A and B are shown apart, each in its own frame.
Chain A
Amino acid sequence: MDDLTLVARVLDGNTHAYRFLVDKYKNLVWHMVLRMIDHREDAEDLCQDVFMRVFRDIGKFRGDAKLSTWIGSIAYHICIDHLRRNQRDMVTMVENFTPAMLARVDIPENMGNMDRASVKKLVHQIIDAMPYHFRIVITLFHLEGFSYREIEEITGMPEGTIKSYLNRGRQIIHDKMLVQLPEIKAILFETI
């Protein structure tokens, strides 16, 4: 079922269509919200708010963009509003951010073993410790597979900024891994 047909059915009051829409896009919304909001209970409530807003505003969807982009944009703005309302002092803004702030990433004792799961866990911890701008751009690009253009539509950030966050984000991950796991330097980054 294409986006416009799905939207038309939801507008007709078909709850099965709405259920289908929720099932189709709930992981996208969950990933975005959880990456931006640290608190899990709040994240669940916000996911519900996102889909309630989707239902309320679905008549405004014209099909100019993909439905996933439109829903992503709603999720992004609801999270931004939530952060501004509740966590103003806790949010690290990009302009104030320095990689040294990632010192709060705790490395488990057995990280020296370098197994696959541990490295991935470390990467996720590093991402979680970044400002939300980095987190959301990395999530949308790498995890959800959106293009720069689509991320621009979702977040309103210029394409250059998105590319910059992606590059800086990757660099931060590399740098942090080097600091935390110096033993991989010889293997991973010596020729970079």
Chain B
Amino acid sequence: MRLLRVIGKRFSRNKLSVLGALTVLLLIILSLFAPLIAPYDPTAIDVHNVLSPPSKEHPLGTDELGRDLLSRIIWGSRVSLKVGFIAVGIAITAGIIIGAISGFYGGLVDTILMRFVDIMLAFPTFFLILAVISILEQSIFTIMVVIGLTNWMDVARLVRAEFLSLKEKDFVSAARAVGASDKRLIFRHILPNALSPVFVAATFGIAGAILIESGLSFLGLGVQPPEPSWGNILTAGKDNIEVAWWLSLYPGLAILITVLSYNLVGEGLRDALDPRLWEAERH
């Protein structure tokens, strides 16, 4: 707990990261309480108010079916939150398992797994994601799984590198000497010490996953209308680019703010968790 407090103190030194963390918190509240906060039903069609510019009744304007843009953006935050956390959860789980096995056992297993990582990294990720999504049913669930399964490689490399150095440490030899099983060595002794770069990668990963989801939904391969997502609102923005600038501006701004916040938190976490800086502080 003392450790957590120290990390929190170091994190709070970076004002921008704190701002990012507060924004993330706000976004989470926004998406949890979307039904209470949103002024209108996000799918309620109003034919008398089609493509009306921002006004008192509709602060951010309405879309091509007269639906309130502000409410759609608020509901859209649910999609990005879900995709961000679940896709990264999948990526981290896969990355930790593969990285841990690779780093712990070494040898042929390591070679094979790392070549596999190289191969996966050679594909332009967006191509691979599109290819898989095109053959599966298009839903938010598919997107989360596919983003997760195409973004685990960095985590795997990080975890492997940590395992390579940690497994030579004395505390691991000691645990081995008293007869701990491989499973216990990996999960109880080494993994907890290898997690801090994973946390950092996960935070940046959430930002990346939100960007990918918005791109896919923009292309019509992600969240399907009428369910609002920031990406598919932007598709409407593109279709009405000559007449309704607000449909293009605001959803993208929401993406930018969200992704920026996660990136700032990631940056702050990286500095707060960097053991090299810990050393420097002690002296």
Do A and B associate with each other?
no
